[in-house]
Amino acid sequence: MTTSAFQLTGHYAPVHDELTTYELPVSGALPPELTGWYLRNGPNPRGASDHWFTGDGMVHGVRLEHGRAAWYRNRWIRTESFDQPDAVLYQADGSRNLRTSVANTHVVTHAGRTLALVESSLPYEITRELDTVGPYDFGGELADSMTAHPKICPETGELHFFGYGSITAPHVSYYRADAAGRLEVKQPIDVPGLTMMHDFALTRQHVVFFDLPVVFDRESAGHGMPYRWSETYGARLGLLRREDPAGGVRWLPIDPCYVFHTLNAHDTADGRIVLHVVRYEHVFRPGGPQPGGTLWRWTIDPAAGTVTEDRLDDRHAEFPRIDDRLAGADARFGHVTAARGPAERSSLRRHDLHTGAVEEHRFATGRIPGEAVFVPADDTPGGAGWLLTYVHDAAEDASDLVVLDAQDVAAPPVATVRLPQRVPAGFHGNWLPEA
């Protein structure tokens, strides 16, 4: 696969300078409670790239401090393959060099460590000032890749994640680290092929795995995206009880589809499991247009062995987020981004998952938002808070950090921080509150 024109131009074009700029201009008023760091990761190719997805990871950060925008910084993640561009992930014998990483997909914090993630490799630890510490393998206990979408249980502080991509079985393994960062559970998961398992779901009682029909394509390895849609692989959801990780996974079939991102999941009082996901009819299928993702609800009934699939909105959506203090519980509100081209109007939508009501913030034409992260305003999960997102202004080729009131998303921004350079399109990030 060669680089498409959009992947290195416009909103997707990389930036070439690492900056540190202090005392950023602010329109509106930053809430003084917003004191911490907003960090977001994404690809920033340094040179020719077979696919935008494979660009070197760069974290863009803004430090907010008692009503001030104290600084902006952007730094590449200095991984082994950053310093050695010819390093390869898969060796001739099928083994992997797990320090070969672009670390370009997410940035999370757990047990006092901030980790830059990409699902093919080990995490890379960084500081809150965005300096690279180095690869992190849980004290030598992790000899596998780590998903870019780990889940932190807000009740136990445990970090749940999986690794995939091993040429030999098991192709997928499940892991759990305790609140102190000690790796406690390593459990192989039986899947029939080298599936691309990008995300999964966590409830108070279950871990839910997605075994979907995007599988490793050996001919594409080393030439861009090494996964392709399969018409024959099938699709299913796997249930693993958290209290019994060695007890095996129960698999239930669903219609063929793909899911990059989960909004949330929870158990119901009558024993069912409800998941909200952004679902695609297919991805990476050669030829023809690629459909956009839309918000769906999957309801699993373990007693009946069935999965009910319901589309909740027919409009394009991505980058779903909730108040992370409700991860695994019945979160009422979820937020999705609908990013459009520079000649269209993008939006951010707040879904009431109980009533079906939707509120929408519509950005001006050519202002393109990324993922919006929820930052709480008080100690009440699901209550007041703000949504933070980087927004690219195509007309000015500039970017802002925009702060919206999560309980009134249709209103004008609470505050807008003008950044010293454009922030390219990227993936995921988090708010790191003051310790």
Exposure letters 177-195 (e unless 16+ CB within 10 A, then b): beeebebebebebebeebb
What does the pLDDT read at residue 2?
37
Between CA 119 and CA 102 the distance in angstroms is 10
Q: What is the pLDDT of residue 28?
A: 98
* The pLDDT of residue 386 is above 90: yes
What is the side-by-side strand order in the sheet with 57-65? Answer: 20-22, 68-76, 57-65, 36-43, 429-433
pLDDT, position 95: 75
pLDDT > 80? residue 379: yes
Residue range 109-124: mean pLDDT, rounded:
97
Model pLDDT, residue 115? 98
Edge-to-edge strand order for the sheet containing 206-211? 200-202, 206-211, 236-241, 250-253
How much is the pLDDT for 220? 62
280: Cβ–Cβ under 8 A, 6 or more apart, which residues? 257, 258, 259, 260, 290, 291, 292, 293
Per-residue pLDDT averaged across 372-393, rounded? 96
pLDDT band with cut points at 50, 70 and 90 for residue 1: very low
- Per-residue pLDDT tens for 129-168? 999 999 999 999 999 999 999 999 999 999 999 999 988 8
Q: What is the pLDDT of residues 155-214, one digit of tens each?
A: 999 999 999 998 889 999 999 999 999 999 999 999 999 999 999 999 999 999 999 999
Residues 6 or more apart whose CB falls under 8 angstroms from that of 413 comprise: 27, 28, 402, 403, 404
Q: What is the pLDDT of residue 50?
A: 56
With CA atoms as reference, report the closest residue to 41 among 111, 93, 112, 117: 117
* Average pLDDT of span 227-237: 96
Q: What angle do CA 112, 189, 186 make, to 5 degrees?
A: 40
CA atoms of 395 and 426, how far apart (whole Å): 19
Query: Quick one: 248 exposed, middle or buried, by C-beta within 10 A (0-12, 13-18, 19+)?
Result: middle
Predicted confidence (pLDDT) at residue 3 exceeds the cutoff of 50: no
Task: List the structure tokens of 435.
Answer: 């310790």
Token pair for 124:
């890379």
% of residues, the chain, pLDDT over 90: 84
* C-alpha separations of 28 from 67, 416, 419 in Å: 10, 6, 15
- Give mean pLDDT, residues 293-302: 98
| CB-CB neighbours of 16 under 10 Å | 8
Nearest residue to 275 (alpha-carbon basis) of 227, 230, 190, 208? 208
pLDDT by residue (tens digit) across 269-297?
A: 999 999 999 999 999 998 878 889 999 99
Mean pLDDT for the chain? Answer: 93
Q: Are 334 and 358 in contact (CB under 8 A)?
A: no
**With 80 as the cut, is the pLDDT of residue 51 above it?**
no
Check whether 391 has a pLDDT greater than 70: yes
Q: How confident is the model at residue 217 (pLDDT cuts 50, 70, 90)?
A: confident
